[in-house]
Structure 1
C-alpha cells in the first residue's frame, strides 16, 4: 500500500493572506511546511512586500513556532540567462533564505520561447548552474530547479535538468521540482524520485482544454475530476522512494478567492489520502 503523502503549501495557494495568516492556515491543516514567494506583488496578487516587509528571520521564527519548516523561497526567474544582474538576484534570495532559515531557493527557467543556436540551450543552462553552484556551496544551501512544461519553456524536461546538473557536479546541491501540472504538459513519463527535492500539486478539470491550451490560471485543487493524473504521479513518486513534501500550488483566482480555504484544502487532502489508500 502506498504511504501517505506529507503535505505543504506554496504561498501561491493563498496569496491574499499575509505571511503569518498563511502560516496559520498551513499549521491548521497539519502541513509539514511552506514555501514563500517573492513574486506575488509582481503578479498583482497582493500589495505586500516579500516577508510583508519584515525581516526574514522574524517570519522564519514564526513558522517554526507553528511547527512548520520553511521549505523554500521562490523564485529566481530566468536563471538560465546568466548575467551580473542574475547573479545579484540569486545572491539576494540566498541571503534571504539563510536569514529566514529556509532550506532551499527555487530556480525557474525562461518561459519566453527563446531562440538558441545548436547546443545553445544546454550550454546556457550549464553555464548558469556552474555559476550558481559555488554560491550554494558557500551558503550550504540547496537550489530547486523547476522544468516548465509549456511549449514556450527553455527547459521542459526533468531529464535535461538532471543531465546539466550532473555535468557541473551539482547533484549534491541541486534538486528537481516535480510539478504535476508541468509533468503532464511536457508529456513526461519518467519519474526521478531520487533527484526530487519537492513536488508541486494542482489539478485541472476543464474538459475542453487541450494540454497546449492549459495555463497557470486553470490550476485548482486536486479532486476526483482531475485530468493531470495527480494520484498516479503521487503514487509513483512515493512508491519510488520519494519521502518529501507535496506542496499545493494552485494559481486559479477562483481558489485565491475562496471564503473557506481551510475546508477546501482539507477536502482535497482527504481525497488524495483516501484515493491512495
Structure 2
C-alpha cells in the first residue's frame, strides 16, 4: 500500500446498530471517525431517535473515548430551497453538532427533479449559503455540501458549489463531499481536493444498469467488480494531496441486512488499501 487510507463509517453502513454499537464497530475496524445521521427513522431503517435519544454530548464523548472523531452530522436535505423551516432545521443541526463536538454538518441539495433556469437555481443556492454562513461563523463550524449526480438533482456538480461558496465569501466555513457514486453519475472529471472535507465511498456492480438507472439502492460495499472506479478516484485524490477521511456510505438493503457487516467491511478495506 503506497498511501494510507483513513477509513471512516457513515451510519448508513449499518443502520440496524444503535449508535454506541456503531461506534464500537468503527473502533474495531481501525477507523478514524464516524458520521451520524438524523434521517435513519425517516428512511424506515431504524425506529430510534437521533443519538438514540441520548444527550449528544454523551455520544460525542463516547466516540472520542474510543479514539474516534465525530466527523459530521447528516443531514439538512433540500437546503437550497431556503425558507423558515429549513433555517430551523439547519439551526438545530448546528446546535446538535456543537453539543456533540461534531466537526461538520451536511447540506444536501433538493433532488426533486424540478425544472428551473440555471440562473434561478444557482441564485437559490447562493442565497441559501449566504443565509447559512453567519450561523456557521457564530458556531465556528464547517458545513459540507454534497452535490448529487442524479439527473433530477438541483446541484449535480462540485464546480457550481465551489463557485457559489466563493461568491458568498464562505471559503472558511464550507467544504465539499466528494461522493464516488455521485462523481461517477455526474460524469465529473475535475477533482477539488483543496475543497474536499470528506469522501464518501460505495460501489455498484450490476452490469445491466446504465449510469442514469443507478440509484442509492444499488450502492454496496466496494469490491473487485466495482463500476464506479473507486480505486481510480481514491488514488487521484490521494495523489492530489487529499488527507481526509474516506467514509463508507452504502445504501443497499443487502448491506443493511448483512449480519456480518464487519467482515464485509474488512474485506473491502483490504481491497482498497492494497490497490491505493
Establish whether TM, by shorter chain, passes 0.5. yes
Q: How far is 1:131 from its partner?
A: 0.2
Q: Secondary structure at the match of 2:25?
A: helix
2:74 matched to which residue of 1? 74
Match for residue 208 of structure 1? 208
SS of the residue aligned with 1:27?
helix
- In the alignment, the residues of structure 2 paired with residue 49 and residue 169 of structure 1 have an alpha-carbon distance, to the nearest angstrom, of 35
1:141 deviates by 0.1
- 2-structure distance, mates of 1:265, 1:118: 40
**Alignment match, 2:46:** 46
- Using the TM superposition, give the Cα deviation of residue 118 of structure 1 relative to its aligned residue in structure 2, in angstroms: 5.0
| Cα distance in 2 for residues equivalent to 1:154 and 1:144 | 16
- Aligned residue runs from structure 1 range 192-203, under 5 A: 192-203=192-203
Report the TM-score when normalising by structure 2.
0.99
1:79–1:110 Cα contact (<8 Å) kept: yes
1:196-230 CA-to-partner distances (Å, cap 9, x unmatched) read 00000000000000000000000000111000000
2:25 paired residue number = 25
| Alpha-carbon distance in structure 1 between the residues aligned to 2:118 and 2:187 | 23
- Equivalent residues, number: 276
Question: C-alpha distance in 2, partners of 1:147/1:112?
Answer: 13
Partner of 1:96: 96
Deviation at 1:261, TM superposition (A): 1.0
Shift of 1:2: 4.1
SS at match of 2:191: coil
C-alpha deviation, 1:102, in angstroms: 0.1
Q: Identify the residue that residue 158 of structure 1 maps to in structure 2.
A: 158
Cα 1:118–1:19, aligned 2, differ >3 Å: closer, same or farther?
closer
Specify every segment of 5 or more residues in structure 1 that has no aligned partner in the other structure, as ranges: none
Unaligned runs of 5+ in 2: none
Whole-angstrom CA distance in 2 between matches of 1:56 and 1:264: 29
Counterpart of 1:224 in structure 2 is 224
- Greater mean alpha carbon deviation, residues 6-15 or residues 252-261: 252-261
Q: Distance in 2 between the 1:275 and 1:159 partners?
A: 28
> Which residue of structure 2 lines up, in the alignment, with residue 147 of structure 1?
147
Whether the 8 Å CA contact 1:2–1:235 is kept in 2: the answer is: no
Alignment correspondent of 2:271 = 271
CA distance in structure 1 between the partners assigned to 2:11 and 2:131 by the alignment: 28
- The aligned residue for residue 126 of structure 1 is 126
Contact 1:76 1:107 in 2 (8 A): yes
* Cα distance in structure 2, aligned partners of 1:273 and 1:177: 21
Task: Report the Cα distance in structure 1 between the residues aligned to 2:213 and 2:2, rounded to whole angstroms.
Answer: 32
CA distance in 2, matches of 1:161, 1:275: 30
Cα deviation, residue 113, structure 1:
1.0
Taking the aligned partners of 1:47 and 1:252, their CA distance within structure 2 comes to 18
Partner of 1:170: 170
The answer to whether the Cα contact below 8 Å between 1:157 and 1:188 also exists between their aligned partners in 2 is yes
Q: What secondary structure is seen at the aligned counterpart in 1 of 2:178?
A: strand
**Cα contact 1:71–1:102 (8 A) shared by 2:** yes
Indicate the RMSD between aligned Cα atoms, in angstroms: 0.8
Alpha-carbon distance in structure 1 between the residues aligned to 2:118 and 2:108: 22
Alignment partners' CA distance in 1, 2:114 and 2:108: 14
Change (3 A) 1:208 1:134: same
